[in-house]
Structure 1
Amino acid sequence: MKTFVQTLLSTVFILQMYLAMAVVAIVYFPYALLHRDGAVAACHAYCRWVCFSLRLICGLKTEVRGTVPTGEMLIAPKHQSFLDIIMIYGALPRGKFVMKAILGWAPFLGWYAKRIGCIFVNRGKRGAAITKMLADVKSGASLPGQLIIYPQGTRVAPGDQRPYKIGTAVLYSQLQQPCIPVGANVGLFWPKRGILRHRGTAVVEFLPAIPPGLTNDAFMAELEARVETSSNALMAEAGFK
């Protein structure tokens, strides 16, 4: 019975979440069209609403740990579900994602993503994708903010293993900025697939910066060790074995 009720509540949450996306996008559109700050404000408002309604309807709380970066930095988080996108962007003052090109065509989301300075890449064409990504990052360097790239390139369910991709190291080398690893346990409560949203506390944790200047191999090893250690600890804290 509890699972049925939680599934019903989760369904209500998901429906209103997508409705809220349309409402926020339309309400903020004039401001976002006139000024990029309007698009950033819209995205932050939507993130706040998702976290609020998630707690209200599903009983799932969200918590951001660590020191949230405010300067020009590369952010490299664990990616387990849509929720870590919401929590990380909502915490950052001026986030912009490296994201799949196909999402640029998504209603509302695509236009706002372009407006806040996100970088779109085609999956499956590794060399060409990295070349284009570097060119787009360079051309958009005048836009202030924190560039967010998921180093595993896709959502990874708790307990699953996926390799860390070289694109993050290439960006780290080009930008010559500190990189902030981010751990997460959100996939335990908001799964990669399915409707059910579980009660509990979803956490993302901003970790100490990796300074610029490391070789690609050293950087990737350090990044993976930090992100996986943090994520495993957060999942264990939540009861995952």
Structure 2
Amino acid sequence: MDITQQTTHYRGNKLKLYLGSAVLFAGMTLSLVIIAPSILIGLAFPFSVRYQIAGVWVRFVLWLAEVFCDLHYEVEGMENVDPAEPSIILSKHQSAWETIAFRHFLPMHSVLLKRSLLWLPVWGWAMAALKPIAIDRNNQRAALRTLLARGKIYLDQGLWVLVFPEGTRTAPGEVKKFNAGGAMLAQQTGCPVVPVAHNAGVYWPRYSFLKYPGTIKVKIGPKIESKGRKAHDVNAEAEAWIARAMKDM
């Protein structure tokens, strides 16, 4: 369901929908005035401190969404997550929700993102302090080199690495071919891949101000071993698992 279709066919209280979305937006924006500088101050402390500070904002945003937008989430498959085994997360990408919420229930991780996001005043600088893997999407070869180099460093440090192999947010029902960068990182490091499917785009649509009530479903698949395997095969297995999980939602 695309944004226009969902907005047109919404049968709930539209005043509540708009007011709740406005409160969420205002709360997210205003709270950044406090959280972002706090993360930057956290540069004087271990990385885990900065990550925990960011986690406070994440929990606040999820609370705002629940209280004012009646937007909840449920996670299936947490038994497939072993925080002690650094892994590469290959996830469906539909909205901004997963870039926020994953920090709450997945192990401490680095996120692959476009470098231009780090140029945003204050908040971009704060994101830079959270050990992202920032790439130039216009230079694919350089982007892959950065992913492989920085990803290995962070995995060696015990962090997980989150990659959205579709490369950009896709509308619900839209399918894009997976890029193999995350699988190549898994092949080179021997770390497993953990596939993740979700339907956040139905309730928190991309490029939309409105956030719809409901329950976002997240499915975490069994780990996919990479040792002794080709990146293409690892990537194809993750893509197939996510496609099946999306059909079941």
The reply to whether TM is greater than 0.5 is yes
Identity %: 27
**Structure 2: gaps spanning 5 or more residues:** 1-11
Offset at 1:104? 1.5
* Equivalent residue, structure 2, for 1:198: 212
* Residue 58 of structure 2 corresponds to residue 47 of structure 1: yes
Distance in 2 separating the partners of 1:92 and 1:108: 25
**Structure 1: gaps spanning 5 or more residues:** 235-241
Number of matched pairs: 234
1:53-93: CA deviation from partner (whole Å, max 9, x where unpaired): 10001110122221233121111111110101112121123
Distance in 2 separating the partners of 1:28 and 1:21: 10
For the residue of structure 2 that corresponds to 1:136, the secondary structure is helix
Equivalent position amino acid for 1:74 in 2: I
Note closer, same or farther for the CA distance 1:65–1:33 as it changes in structure 2 (3 Å cut).
farther
For the residue of structure 2 that corresponds to 1:15, the secondary structure is helix
For the residue of structure 2 that corresponds to 1:96, the secondary structure is strand
* Equivalent residue, structure 2, for 1:168: 182
> Which one of the candidate residues 81, 84, 103 is aligned to 2:98?
84
Distance in 2 separating the partners of 1:62 and 1:227: 18
The answer (yes or no) to whether the contact 1:72–1:144 under 8 Å persists in 2 is: yes
For the residue of structure 1 that corresponds to 2:27, the secondary structure is helix
> Which one of the candidate residues 88, 110, 128 is aligned to 2:142?
128
* Equivalences for residues 1-241 of structure 1 within 5 A: 2-67=13-78, 68-70=81-83, 71-213=85-227, 214-234=229-249
Q: TM-score, normalized by length of structure 1?
A: 0.90
Equivalent position amino acid for 2:46 in 1: H
Distance in 2 separating the partners of 1:29 and 1:125: 29
Offset at 1:149? 0.5
Note closer, same or farther for the CA distance 1:22–1:64 as it changes in structure 2 (3 Å cut).
farther
1:9-58: CA deviation from partner (whole Å, max 9, x where unpaired): 21221111111122222345434432212211012111111111100011
Note closer, same or farther for the CA distance 1:41–1:156 as it changes in structure 2 (3 Å cut).
same
The answer (yes or no) to whether the contact 1:87–1:204 under 8 Å persists in 2 is: no
The answer (yes or no) to whether the contact 1:39–1:112 under 8 Å persists in 2 is: no
Equivalent position amino acid for 2:207 in 1: R
The answer (yes or no) to whether the contact 2:40–2:129 under 8 Å persists in 1 is: no
Distance in 1 separating the partners of 2:104 and 2:161: 14
